[in-house]
Amino acid sequence: MTEKNNDKIPIYICMGSSCFSKGARILVEIINNTIEQYQLQDKVDFRGKRCFDRCADGPNIQIGDQIYNRVNPENIKSIILNYFSIHESANTD
Ligand code: FES
């Protein structure tokens, strides 16, 4: 296992038309909010990417080497928090 202390972990969201039509835009907002809320700005590099060629399984995101399919507003935050081993605080927003 390799550790990259100075490198940011990439978070990519597919901005292809299929994923976009399935709600990628709202996921961008939620991901940005989560990055801010948990002060991950120094740890991650969040950007959009073109089609992942997995359109039927979208919306798709990638964190590090892992691709997550069928991401939605209900599960995106916990996907990110789980990846970074962050325990969600009792925040009800
Ligand atoms: S549009 Fe997202 S995988 Fe193709």
pLDDT of 59 over the 90 cut: yes
pTM of the model as a whole:
0.87
- Is 57 inside a domain boundary? yes
pLDDT digits 0-9 by tens, 15-42 = 999 999 999 999 999 999 999 999 999 9
Q: Is 26 helix (H, G, I), strand (E, B) or coil?
A: helix
User: Does 49 sit in the ligand 1 pocket, CB within 6 Å?
Assistant: no
Q: How many residues does the chain have?
A: 93
* d(C-alpha 53, C-alpha 28), whole Å: 19
Q: Which CATH number fits the domain that encloses residue 77?
A: 3.40.30.10
Decide: 86 in ligand 1 pocket, CB within 6 A: no
Q: How far is the CA of 4 from the centre of ligand 1 (A)?
A: 28
Please report where in the chains the tokens 């399984």 appear, as a residue: 57
User: What is the tally of structural domains in the chain?
Assistant: 1
Within a domain: residue 71? yes
Domain presence at residue 69 = yes
Å from CA of 89 to ligand 1 middle: 32
Tell whether ligand 1 has an atom less than 6 A from the beta carbon of residue 67. Answer: no
Position 35 in a domain: yes
Residue of 12, 78, 6, 13 whose CA lies nearest to 42: 6
